[in-house]
């Protein structure tokens, strides 16, 4: 099977709704010969709600618009200072399934964080990547039983993930917090978890530009999502 190089497109800072529509249009129009794409962008402030999203997880949106989407997961926030990556991948051609696709996206984020000296962690049953708030640079693994009442104790979420697969083809993707206003996260239960802390590279002491983080994440995604 012919491997087609993923095309990386830097979209800049764009509104969410037209980008969401463009992803759907691209996916509906593509066929088995269409090269995969990776769209990298930054959004103006918006809350996006997943298919299973419950309205009571949106506590006080105030002046920030809420957009209902067809991705998995609950509510999250997108805003300036966050790198949003949308892999538009033909999984059938790539030769792996959704569970591995999610794992590969998370691994790309973990490797991106490692580039900046930060250790990223997975939490079972809660897609996305987390860091230790007290010591984000520690290489120690998360150990011990997770308290069901507080599975995120001591952790902050630094990357959120939500995907959609249509006819074996993916859209939506992953958002990595770089240097952003985190206050809007306090107006929702991020990803459906009340009290879940959210952080970014800047808050944990990493001085990286949006462009630098976007470049590293793009390279890791292209590498790890390859067939």
The catalytic residue positions are 191
Block residue for tokens 């929702």: 188
DSSP 84: E
SS3 7: strand
Q: What are the Cα distances from residue 154, in Å, to 15, 150, 210?
A: 33, 9, 26
Rounded distance, CA 86 to CA 148, Å? 32
SS3 222: helix
H helices of the chain, in order, are 16-29, 91-94, 98-115, 210-224
Block residue for tokens 């708030």: 133
Rounded distance, CA 221 to CA 202, Å? 22
């Amino acid at each position: 099977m012919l491997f087609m190089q993923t095309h990386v497109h830097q979209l800049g800072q764009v509104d969410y709704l037209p980008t969401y529509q463009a992803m759907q249009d691209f996916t509906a129009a593509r066929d088995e010969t269409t090269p995969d794409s990776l769209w990298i962008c930054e959004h103006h402030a918006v809350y996006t709600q997943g298919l299973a999203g419950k309205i009571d997880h949106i506590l006080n949106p105030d002046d920030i618009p809420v957009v209902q989407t067809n991705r998995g997961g609950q509510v999250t926030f997108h805003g300036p200072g966050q790198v949003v990556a949308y892999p538009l991948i033909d999984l059938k051609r790539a030769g792996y399934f959704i569970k591995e696709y999610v794992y590969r996206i998370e691994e790309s984020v973990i490797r991106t964080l490692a580039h900046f000296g930060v250790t990223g962690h997975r939490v079972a049953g809660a897609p996305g990547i987390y860091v230790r708030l007290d010591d984000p640079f520690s290489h120690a693994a998360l150990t011990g039983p997770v308290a069901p009442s507080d599975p995120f104790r001591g952790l902050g979420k630094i990357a959120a993930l939500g995907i959609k697969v249509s006819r074996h083809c993916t859209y939506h993707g992953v958002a990595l917090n770089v240097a952003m206003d985190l206050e809007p996260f306090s107006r929702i239960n991020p990803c459906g978890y009340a009290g879940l802390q959210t952080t970014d590279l800047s808050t944990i002491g990493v001085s990286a530009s949006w462009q630098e983080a976007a470049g590293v994440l793009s390279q890791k995604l292209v590498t790890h999502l390859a067939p």
